[in-house]
Chain A
């Protein structure tokens, strides 16, 4: 494990500032997916909590349809981000396999890199959700705007989505790490 950590350290140090631009695109995509997911879930939760409002069932049904329509592209974006990050690594992983890295070392390197990207993106995305709350709260439905409390998804779902996005980054990236030496 020490050897894998040293190789990861060498790579990150070697990339230097370029690492930021390499990471920026997948991290941004994970962040956008996370913000979208949390905002959509918060919105659905808000409609689910308005049971005493007029036509609440119709609004909830429409919110459910809208949520599905938004969640699918959000997850697709997250998956595409994971694949994008993995593709950039392929050349390096093939060279490492060639000089004797074990499959386990390659998977560990890949998991560390994609996990950091996924976690960083999800945390930035959660911040984006908090920043978007005041704007979403301005929307008017059923005769009134939303309150912040209505749009809050709750601590547990928030943590679940952050770790879910990190897991998504890993599960989608690791299969591509099963490269064979050329």
Chain B
């Protein structure tokens, strides 16, 4: 259920709209478009939502400073570090102000220090825009950032912990 609506039987177009308007995704690999500069990667979901390129870029611009990406607007993914690319991916996931933000191993390709920064940015940004954050991780340090941790083993739920 999302917003009082059953989502399991939605058609392909409604599922696409759901991904575009209500969900944000952050993956281990970032999944940024290598040919686009960071600002256009972030603006892309807004363009798909019908905004003009200029309007979308203006809105996307507002996500750069809070995520520590000031000055990187024109860099392409290949010209950024792993942590910077991941923050651009977070900005892209947040730009539509989604109800739920899914992060699948968001720090899997990062070192410990960068992982910590990315998780802080991810949690703080989700809190600021009021998105629920769902993180999938193998890393206990990353799991510590979450309010509720559900442990799965061999496809079965084996435990739930709520942070004090």
Q: Which residues of A contact B (CB under 8 A)?
A: 2-3, 6-7, 9-11, 14-15, 18, 91-92, 94-105, 181-182
Cβ of B123 within 8 Å of any chain A Cβ, yes or no, is: no
- Size bin of chain B's contact surface: 20 to 34
> What residues on B are CB-neighbors of A181 within 8 Å?
19
Whether A14 lies near B40 (C-beta < 8 A) is yes
Tell me, rounded to whole Å, the shortest Cβ–Cβ distance linking A175 to chain B.
16
Whether A10 lies near B47 (C-beta < 8 A) is yes
Tell me, rounded to whole Å, the shortest Cβ–Cβ distance linking B76 to chain A.
8
Whether A6 lies near B53 (C-beta < 8 A) is yes
Contacts A11-B33, A95-B31, A99-B45 given: A6-B20 contact, CB under 8 Å? Answer: no
Q: Quick one: closest B residue to A7, CB to CB? A: B47
Which of the residues A3, A9, A11, A100 comes within 8 Å of B35, measured between beta carbons? Answer: A11
Tell me, rounded to whole Å, the shortest Cβ–Cβ distance linking A128 to chain B.
30
> What residues on A are CB-neighbors of B35 within 8 Å?
11, 14-15, 18, 92
Whether B48 lies near A101 (C-beta < 8 A) is yes
Q: Which stretch from B1-9, B10-18, B139-147 is at the chain A interface? A: B10-18
Contacts A14-B37, A98-B31 given: A105-B48 contact, CB under 8 Å? Answer: yes
> What residues on A are CB-neighbors of B31 within 8 Å?
94-95, 98, 182
Q: Quick one: closest B residue to A15, CB to CB? A: B35
Cβ of B27 within 8 Å of any chain A Cβ, yes or no, is: yes
CA gap between A10 and B18 in the complex, in Å: 23
Whether A7 lies near B12 (C-beta < 8 A) is no
CA gap between A65 and B46 in the complex, in Å: 56
Q: Quick one: closest A residue to B23, CB to CB? A: A100
Whether B49 lies near A3 (C-beta < 8 A) is yes
Q: Which residues of B contact A (CB under 8 A)?
A: 12-13, 16-21, 25, 27, 31-37, 40, 44-45, 47-50, 52-53, 76, 92
> What residues on A are CB-neighbors of B37 within 8 Å?
14
> Can you pick out 8 interface pairs between chain A and chain B where the beta carbons lie within 8 Å of each other?
A9-B53, A10-B47, A14-B35, A97-B16, A100-B19, A100-B48, A102-B12, A182-B31
Whether B33 lies near A92 (C-beta < 8 A) is yes
Contacts A18-B35, A95-B31 given: A103-B12 contact, CB under 8 Å? Answer: yes
Tell me, rounded to whole Å, the shortest Cβ–Cβ distance linking B87 to chain A.
16
Tell me, rounded to whole Å, the shortest Cβ–Cβ distance linking B108 to chain A.
14
Q: Known contacts A96-B48, A98-B25, A100-B45; can you find 19 more A-B pairs with CB under 8 A?
A: A6-B52, A7-B44, A11-B33, A14-B37, A14-B40, A15-B35, A95-B32, A95-B33, A97-B16, A98-B19, A99-B25, A99-B44, A100-B16, A100-B17, A100-B19, A101-B48, A102-B17, A103-B12, A105-B48
